Structure 1
Amino acid sequence: MREADETTRQQLTRMLRAEPATPSELAVEMDLTPHAILGHLEHVSQSVDTNDADERFLVAPPACRDCGFDNYDDLLNLPSRCPSCKSESIAEPTVTID
């Protein structure tokens, strides 16, 4: 399948198989917003987890750069501030398909 013929989710899957990325990195690459990428990633994770037993959709959670808090309920999220120390310095989640 040519790259131009791929759907957005197929492109995301291909990119995540190649290397880990954050929603912002993927958004720049695909000319979408990070929140739109998160919506697509939800579906990609379901597809990978149900269609291929050899692959896993992995997420390194968002983390506070100040206190290290990373126990967020929703791993595929772009939190605006840390619930522990209230810092707004939050590292985005990193996703990959392994």
Structure 2
Amino acid sequence: MAAEENSTLRRRIIELLSGRTLSTRQISQILGITERDVLGHLDHVARSVAPKQRLVMELPVCRRCGFSFRKREKW
């Protein structure tokens, strides 16, 4: 993927997250990319919005039992 395409995706992620909360799954479905790609872009988004804005990331939670995953190594 070209650098310009990455930049555009990251801008779209910032727009999507402005004023609302979305999961990586929701972002991936809206943009048509994998959740793994979303996570990679979120690292860059977090650096580019600071200090103007704030990006809050919540730990993943099991929808079935409510277990909160502290560290997720595989996607």
TM range (shorter): 0.7 to 0.9
Q: Which amino acid aligns with 2:68?
A: D
% identical aligned pairs: 26
Structure 1 unaligned regions, length at least 5 = 1-5, 80-98
- TM-score (normalised: structure 1): 0.57
Aligned residue number for residue 70 of structure 2: 72
Which structure carries more helix by proportion?
A: 2
| Count of residues in correspondence between the two structures | 68
Report the CA distance between 1:19 and its aligned residue.
1.6
Runs of 4+ in 1 over 3 A off after TM superposition: none
Task: Kindly report the root-mean-square deviation, in angstroms, between the aligned alpha carbons of the 2 structures.
Answer: 2.3
Structure 2 unaligned regions, length at least 5 = 1-6
Which structure carries more strand by proportion?
A: 1
- TM-score (normalised: structure 2): 0.73
The CA distance in 1 between the partners of 2:69 and 2:38, in whole Å, is 22
